[in-house]
Amino acid sequence: MTDRTLLQAALALKGLDRAGWKRVGIERPESVAAHSWGVTFAALLRCPPGLDREKVLIMALLHDLAEATVGDITPYDGVSKEEKRRREEEAIRHLLGDHPELLSIWQEAEQRQSAEALFVKEMDLLDLGLTAESYAAQADTSEFLPSARAALSLL
């Protein structure tokens, strides 16, 4: 895949609404790209000393890239965790096949193999929790808060 094609695929995330917010009735939910930006910005602000900041930021940027191909699959879509993982792995291999260093970082993040990966997951949940709080006036977002509560306590 050329870099131009990869960039076009990644930019498509700007038009992909986060499915969970749509399901609970948010009329104009954030896009997957907006979520990824939020995770990345939180990671930039909160990255602890001792972690590889560059790797953290790459992980945050890439963490939902596969959704450019497979869409934003939620637990309510009837797709098993194993099947979702398989689809995302296939998609990311296609998207990042010409960038093995990025593919390796994505896999590390997905498998939670490092302190950086665990931190990015916390920032993912932090973004989820803050977004749930901001949408609470529009819809019942309480189902999203239990998984995000620990990350929210980091602030």
Identity of residue 142: S
User: What are the two backbone dihedrals, phi and then psi, of residue 111, each rounded to the nearest 5 degrees?
Assistant: -90, 0
pLDDT at 149: 81
Tokens, residue 1: 């895949």
Record the pTM. 0.92
Tokens, residue 146: 């239990």
Tokens, residue 45: 């602000």
Domain range for 115: 3-152
pLDDT at 85: 95
CA dihedral 115, 118, 124, 128 (to 10 degrees): -130
Per DSSP, 71 falls in state -
Give the domain CATH number at 82. 1.10.3210.10
Tokens, residue 126: 């932090």
pLDDT at 102: 97
pLDDT at 6: 96
Number of domains in the chain: 1
DSSP character string of 125-144: HHHHHHHHHHHTTTS--GGG
* DSSP H helices in the chain: 3-11, 19-23, 32-46, 53-62, 67-70, 81-96, 100-110, 115-135, 145-152
Per-residue pLDDT of the chain (155 residues; tens, 9 = 90+): 899 999 999 999 999 999 999 999 999 999 999 999 999 999 999 999 999 999 999 999 999 999 999 999 998 999 999 999 999 999 999 999 999 999 999 999 999 989 999 999 999 999 999 999 999 999 999 988 888 887 777 66
